[in-house]
Amino acid sequence: RDRRGSAVRRRGRNEIIVGSAAAEQFAGLGVGQSVRWGENSWQVVGIFSTGGTAEDTEIWTDAKVLQPAYRRGNSYQSVHLRLASAADFDRFKDDLTSDPRLNVKVIREADYYAEQSEILANLIKTLGVLIGGLMGFGAVFGALNTMYTAVSTRTREIATLRALGFSSGPVVISVIVEAILLAVVGGLVGSGLAYALFNGFQAATLNFQTFSQVAFAFAVTGPLIVGGLLYALVMGFVGGFFPAIRAARLPVATALRES
């Protein structure tokens, strides 16, 4: 799907079309601009978008022009094919890999990109879990402090409820519910800010397996928001549990005498 400029490269010309993510992330790739790679200068004649797929980080040109620019002769590194049906993949793979004249590896596109980015993906996941865990740990202590303060400022009210006949159970539940409600509000605010600030945000990083720059966009999806809210619920429960136990164990007579 063409966005700006031309979607057609004239054969035999040093013309390129650039993926939308690459054009937004890297300078000098606007329509009409020229860049120098290899032994040639290349003119950008169009910007294309594939709807957020990996191709949005690519730059396309005529293979017959690209090969001599990098002294690759008549060699090809990869060939992309679209089959009539996904069910034809196994038969297509068997036909190529069983041909003794060919030395090729046949793989689905999704599996190829997952394989190429395995180290990077694991690194990002590990950092994400580590940072999220540390922030959650700190949030639990913040919730503990908040709820302990809330309990201490309402000591007489809690003691009055106990004196009127309420057992420890309702007191514990009320404190925990309050902590959970505060956590849900915080989770909703955080989810809204994350969606507003980071959904669709363009970034780039280095692929350690191919040593190439990869541009990508953050996606704040529904499952991520639900997971974040569940995480907030757990933190709220943990942060309110111990203050709730303390509130339930307050001696009624002593608490009523406190100012």
pLDDT tens for the chain, residues 1 to 259 = 455 655 555 677 888 998 888 888 788 888 889 888 877 888 898 888 887 777 788 888 888 888 888 888 888 888 888 898 888 999 999 999 998 888 889 999 888 877 777 777 788 889 888 998 898 888 888 888 887 887 777 777 777 877 777 787 888 888 888 888 988 999 999 999 999 988 877 776 666 666 666 667 788 899 999 998 998 898 888 888 888 888 777 777 766 666 5
Q: Are residues 41 and 164 in the same domain?
A: no
pTM of the model: 0.60
Structure tokens at 15: 């013309």
Q: Are residues 59 and 120 in the same domain?
A: no
Structure tokens at 245: 């136990």
- pLDDT for 195: 92
**Distances in Å between the alpha carbon of 136 and those of 129, 142, 177, 178?**
10, 10, 19, 18
134 in any annotated domain: yes
Q: Are residues 69 and 140 in the same domain?
A: no
How many domains, in total, are found in the chain?
2
The span from the CA of 236 to the CA of 244, in Å, is: 12
Q: Are residues 125 and 18 in the same domain?
A: no
98 in any annotated domain: no
Q: Are residues 124 and 66 in the same domain?
A: no
- Residue at 51: amino acid letter: G
Domain edge (last residue) among 14, 48, 77: 77
17 in any annotated domain: yes
86 in any annotated domain: no
Q: Are residues 166 and 42 in the same domain?
A: no
- pLDDT for 117: 73
Q: Which domain holds residue 134?
A: 116-257
- Residue at 239: amino acid letter: G
Q: Are residues 177 and 251 in the same domain?
A: yes
* CA angle, residues 25, 28, 33, in degrees to nearest 5: 135
